[in-house]
Homo-oligomer: A and B are copies of this chain.
Amino acid sequence: MTIQRAVARITCRNAPGIVACVARSLAAAGFDIRDSQQFEDVESDRFFMRVDFQGEARSRDEIARTLAECVDRFDMTIDLALRDRPKRVLLLASRTDHCLIDLIHRWRDGELVMEPIAIVSNHPHPGGSGGMLHGLPFHHLPVTPATRDAQEEAILHIAEAEGADLVVLARYMQILSDRMAAALAGRCINIHHSFLPGFKGARPYHQAHARGVKMIGATAHYVTADLDEGPIIAQDVTPITHADDPAELIRKGRDIERRVLARALRLDLEGRVLVNGSRTVIFQS
């Protein structure tokens, strides 16, 4: 038996006694709660909880059994993640690689605890998988309207073959088919280069310039079939001026895109995000 550290994300209908049930069950099985946060959504009458705990356990199943009584009693949905088994992540990119490179460096520096399994891009990358991409497997899968189905199939094949827990669209710039979006539902994060819901669709920086806004932003969200409408994980903005043309907005935007995507990915990897319909509950550290 070894010390296991686990995070349980729990959702169920709101009711009295949930926190007590979880705390008592974990304590009875010898687990110590390191952190615990919860939220009642009065509107939807749903309850959300994140419990970070540790203790001796032989297996994931043994940990799961600890909470079985609460699960039954409150009809809970539980997602259980073990710290020594980081998520396996597939990275999708396109010509602009600033988000991709940023995520790779944050992973290398220990800020993002994940297992990047491969990179897929519809553009070749200078140097292939070497150098900047830290030797990660690199798949160049070009795409045209005519070949999109086959290309998406190839991406899904890589995701399945490598056991991807999460797919990150690091400025992938391709609109996913409904089939692809459905196949990745709940385990795919996208970065949109606007402060949603403003400037949906194509060329948001040009839209922002035309409207004359004084700040631009970026939004990281889970992908759903409904483009730019998925549950938002993180957003941020930066001030701009009348003197910034669209090219300058694109440059200033790169900084926010990097930051917002990295923040959203980190929140997901640490099990801090719970989806609540079209919104998210975020348990900050």
A241 at the interface (CB under 8 A from B): yes
From B21, B101, B245, B281, contact of A242 by CB (8 A)? B281
A77 at the interface (CB under 8 A from B): no
Query: Which of A39, A232, A242 is the most central at the interface, judged by chain B CB atoms within 10 Å of its CB?
Result: A242
A35 at the interface (CB under 8 A from B): yes
From B36, B109, B236, contact of A38 by CB (8 A)? B36
A42 at the interface (CB under 8 A from B): yes
Copies per assembly: 4
Q: Is the CB of B285 within 8 A of A212?
A: no
Q: Is the CB of B212 within 8 A of A235?
A: no
Complex contacts, A68 vs chain B, CB 8 Å: none
* Chain A window 262-285, contacts with chain B (Cβ cutoff 8 Å), 1 for yes, 0 for no: 000000000000001011111011
A34 at the interface (CB under 8 A from B): yes
A–B pairs, 21, beta carbons within 8 Å:
A19-B33, A20-B27, A22-B23, A24-B24, A37-B37, A39-B242, A98-B109, A109-B254, A130-B130, A131-B131, A195-B198, A196-B198, A197-B198, A197-B211, A198-B198, A211-B232, A212-B279, A214-B232, A214-B233, A214-B234, A255-B259
